[in-house]
Amino acid sequence: MSINMDNELSNDFLELIEENFGVMREDSNGYSALGLAYIGDAVYDMIIRTLVLGLGNGRVKNFHKITSSIVKAESQAILAKEILGELTEEELHVFKRGRNAKSATSAKNASIGDYRIATGLEALLGHLYLNRKMGRAVEIIHYGLKKTGQMPEHL
């Protein structure tokens, strides 16, 4: 798995937020696992929405249907299981922190196991985002979507 991605976009984005709002920390160490999952959920959703929109013009209803099928906890858990062997020791540690975090909520339509694994994936993505490693986040998601057959290909 080696897609060479530069992090210019994520660096610029975080720098704009920091400069204009002064709210970001330098890295993810100060955030709880569930805090990382909170932002990681948005990162994953944005990547998948971008892929779906890139399929071409279509109805928003169709965009939503495709995106929902990929971002739901069950699909995230399938992807997460596929990428585990590709993670660095640090990434695996963050994933496990997220997976093992005690959440007060759970998914409506997912098993507790799938929900927790999905939370681990989201925590990892949040960690990568906050540490300005969006290239790695995209690389991991790309690998997982390909391996699981979840890559959006048509509207």
Catalytically active residues, by annotation: 41
pTM for this predicted structure? 0.89
Whole-number CA gyration radius for the chain: 15
Residue 96 domain flag: yes
- pLDDT tens for 105-141 read 777 788 999 999 999 999 999 999 998 899 999 999 9
- pLDDT tens for 11-21 read 677 778 888 88
- Using 50, 70 and 90 to split pLDDT, how confident is the model at 28? confident
Lowest mean per-residue pLDDT among 60-64, 66-70, 108-112, 148-152:
108-112
Residue 58 domain flag: yes
CA 71, distance to chain mean position in Å, is 9
Q: For residues 69-84, give the mean pLDDT.
A: 96
Residue 67 domain flag: yes
Give the C-alpha separation, 41 to 74, whole Å. Answer: 14
- CATH number at 126 reads 1.10.1520.10
- pLDDT tens for 87-107 read 999 999 999 999 999 887 777
Q: Under a CB-based contact definition with an 8 Å cutoff, are residues 44 and 141 in contact? A: yes
Q: Quote the number of domains for the chain.
A: 1
Return the exposure string of 71-94: e unless at least 16 CB atoms fall within 10 Å of the residue's CB, then b.
bbbbbbbbbbebbeeebeeebeeb
Domain interval for residue 90: 32-148
Looking at residue 8, its pLDDT comes to 56
Residue 21 domain flag: no
Nearest alpha carbon to residue 124 among 87, 74, 72, 78 = 87
Q: For residues 1-16, give the mean pLDDT.
A: 60
Residue 154 domain flag: no
Looking at residue 29, its pLDDT comes to 78
Residue 45 domain flag: yes
Looking at residue 10, its pLDDT comes to 55
Q: Under a CB-based contact definition with an 8 Å cutoff, are residues 109 and 28 in contact? A: no
